[in-house]
Amino acid sequence: MEENCDVLVIGGGPSGSVAACKLLKAGFSVIILEKLEFPRFVIGESLLPRCNEILEKNGLIDVIEEQGFMLKPGAIFIDEKKQEELIDFRNNLGQKWGTSYQVKREEFDNVLLGTAKKRGADVRHKYEVIAYDNDNNKVTATDENGEEKVFKARFVLDASGYGRVLPKLLDLDIPSDLRLRNAIFTRVEGETRRKGDNEGFIDIVIHDDNKAWLWGIPFSDGVTSIGVVCEETYFEKTGLSLEEFFDKVINEHEYLKEKYKDAKKLRPVGVINGYSSAIKTMHGKGFALSGNATEFLDPVFSSGVTLALESSDRVGDLIIKELNGEKVDWQKDYEDYMMIGINVFREFVYAWYEGKLRKIFYAPNKAEKIKQSVASILSGYVWDEDNYFVRSSKQKIDALISMV
Ligand code: FAD
């Protein structure tokens, strides 16, 4: 026997939970099918101020503020000579939110999904979506006993992140234009922490003439997430194991060696690769994709959860319109809108790997307005047309390079 609902959400990550909260508030019934039991580990722990704005808009900021997550006021870039460049999100172009949080995602995602449940979402853990009948808008999932269950929905939202459920089932995936990179990561405790005004910033450490970079994300319980990002070939040609490679990079960099000299690893070094993804379309008859199930660029500017929340907020509004019988221009109002922000980040990611941004960040003679514009972009305000970098981002970055 099939079950019915207004909206069937695939995946209980931040994207699925935020969209669900919006739909529930508008009075629609929502079932969330989540493959795993929560809390579950997922990478992507450093948020941007734009996330707070979306959480606030959807009545979710209070539950997040109550958790005691580490406040994140910005990013500090550290080069091979230990020179630091601090990007303070509070020095933005006048946006309200100038800070965000460093979060263990198993905790953050659990709070969001739990809140969606409290607000009325029917959340089914250990339900893995395996098939989608687009003609009849029916989703098939296996439950924890391996039994197949069928759900019929007026609308299906795929928020399955790296699961990429509908892109795989409907053949919507296309290769990303970004190179194949590895993220080799662990969690540690006991390292030397930044204190006072510089507490809570994410470290972005440049290694070996930009051939690799590392994140350092401090959590409020004293644990820090660290990861090395490099092209797959850079890791492979060393012939080292993940643990050996990770230790080598830490010991080769003066700043890292000093900072992590007393640190103890709390989990084996893991790897994620081939994470950049792209998509033919973000929508179709009776369905849409949100969050990482659409396009994922690169971890360097911590844009993933921000784009995931932005897309859920947007897609939620459009689903409400459609279910209320209004006409929706999905291409213009959803995909084209999302691509504006994604493409700004894309140009920043390219400019980072080409070494251009490094020149801008470390230039001593930057005008205040440029500093604010950079801080604003890196805060996730990538739709702000008053920002110098938002339109024709590549040309603007190149023009600035020739000036600094
Ligand atoms: P997810 O968080 O992946 O949630 C999707 C959910 O769907 C999961 O719970 C999964 O179990 C479920 N699911 C999957 N398949 C199925 C199925 N068949 N049936 C039912 N459920 C299913 N982002 C940041 O903002 N900051 C960072 O610092 C950051 N660092 C990153 C570092 C690396 C190395 C990488 C690769 C990414 C990073 N990201 C970061 C990106 C971030 O991880 C994602 O953008 C974010 O998790 C997307 O959220 P989501 O809700 O779309 O998907």
CB 354 within 8 A of CB 360: no
Judge if 45 and 150 occupy the same domain.
Answer: yes
**Which pLDDT value is given to residue 274?**
86
| Of 310, 342, 374, the domain-final residue | 342
Quote ipTM for the complex. 0.99
Task: Kindly report the protein residue whose alpha carbon is nearest to atom 12 of ligand 1.
Answer: 11
- Summarised one tens digit per residue, pLDDT across range 58-106 is 999 999 999 999 999 999 999 999 999 999 999 999 999 999 999 999 9
Q: Please report the pLDDT score of residue 401 as a whole number.
A: 87
* Distance from C-alpha of 69 to C-alpha of 52, rounded to nearest angstrom: 13
Q: Of 291, 323, 342, which marks where a domain is finished?
A: 342
- What's the pLDDT score for residue 124? 98
- Backbone φ and ψ for 239, nearest 5 degrees, come out as 70, 10
Residue to substitute in 38, 41, 242, 305 for testing ligand 1 pocket (most ligand atoms within 8 angstroms of CB):
305
The answer to whether 7 and 154 have CB atoms below 8 angstroms apart is yes
Give the range of the structural domain holding residue 215, as residue numbers without chain letter.
181-271
Q: Which long-range contacts (CB under 8 A, 24 or more apart) does 60-67 make?
A: 60/18, 60/21, 60/112, 60/115, 63/111, 63/112, 63/115, 64/101, 64/108, 64/111, 64/112, 67/103, 67/107, 67/108, 67/111
Cα 172 to middle of ligand 1, angstroms: 18
167: CA distance to ligand 1 center in Å? Answer: 15
Helix (H, G, I), strand (E, B) or coil at 229: strand
Same domain, 43 and 126: yes
Domain check: are 187 and 308 in the same one? no
pLDDT score recorded for residue 364: 86
Inside any domain, residue 89? no
Q: List the residue whose alpha carbon is closest to atom 29 of ligand 1.
A: 44
Q: How far is the centre of ligand 1, averaged over its atoms, from the C-alpha of 16 (Å)? A: 10
Distance of CA 362 to the CA centre of its chain: 25
Residues 142 and 214 in one domain: no
Distance from Cα 17 to the centre of ligand 1, integer Å: 12
Residues 109 and 113: their CA atoms lie apart, in Å, by 6
Residues 111 and 206 reside in one and the same domain: no
- Return the number of other C-beta atoms located less than 10 Å from residue 180's C-beta: 13
Cα of 367 to ligand 1 centre, how many Å? 36
Q: 205 and 124 share a domain?
A: no
The sign of the torsion formed by the CA atoms of 248, 249, 253, 257 equals negative
Pocket around ligand 1 at a 6 A CB cut-off: 10-16, 33-36, 42-47, 128-129, 159-163, 165, 183, 227, 272, 275, 291-292, 296, 299, 302, 304-306, 308
| Residue 371 lies inside a defined structural domain of this protein | no
Q: What is the pLDDT of residue 1?
A: 84
Q: Give, for ligand 1, the residue of 160, 231, 290 to mutate: max count of ligand atoms closer than 8 Å to Cβ.
A: 160
Distance 258 CA to ligand 1 centre (A): 32
The conformational region for residue 387 under phi > 0 = left, psi -120 to 50 = alpha, else beta, is: beta
pLDDT of residue 365: 82
Query: Number of folded domains in the chain?
Result: 2
What's the 161 CA to ligand 1 centre distance in angstroms? 5
Determine the pLDDT at residue 247.
98
Residue count (the chain):
404
Q: Which atom of ligand 1 is nearest to the CA of 227?
A: 34
Same domain, 170 and 188: no
Q: Is residue 229 part of a domain?
A: yes
At 208 the pLDDT is: 96
CATH classification at residue 230: 3.30.9.100
CATH number at residue 148: 3.50.50.60
Query: Which of 33, 43, 101 is the best mutation target for the ligand 1 pocket, counting ligand atoms within 8 Å of the beta carbon and taking the most?
Result: 43
Judge whether 86 lies within some domain: no
What is the CA(143)–ligand 1 centre distance, in A? 21
302 CA distance to ligand 1 middle (Å): 12
Task: Assess if residue 31 is contained within a domain.
Answer: yes
pLDDT score of 402: 84
Distance CA(247)–CA(202), nearest Å, equals 20
Which of 254, 271, 288 is the endpoint of a domain? 271
Q: What residues of the chain score a pLDDT lower than 50? A: none
User: Domain check: are 57 and 133 in the same one?
Assistant: yes
Residue nearest to atom 30 of ligand 1 (CA): 44
Contact 140, 149 (CB under 8 A): yes
229 and 160 co-located in one domain: no
What the block records as the tokens of 244 is 């050996």
Could you tell which of 17, 35, 310 is best to mutate to test the pocket of ligand 1, judged by most ligand atoms within 8 Å of the CB?
35
Strand partners, 124: 33
Same domain, 151 and 267: no
Residue 368 lies in a domain: no
Question: Is residue 389 domain-resident?
Answer: no
Residue 370 in any domain: the answer is no
Residue nearest ligand 1's atom 36 by CA:
275
- In terms of domains, do 258 and 307 share one? no
| 201 and 281, same domain (yes or no) | no
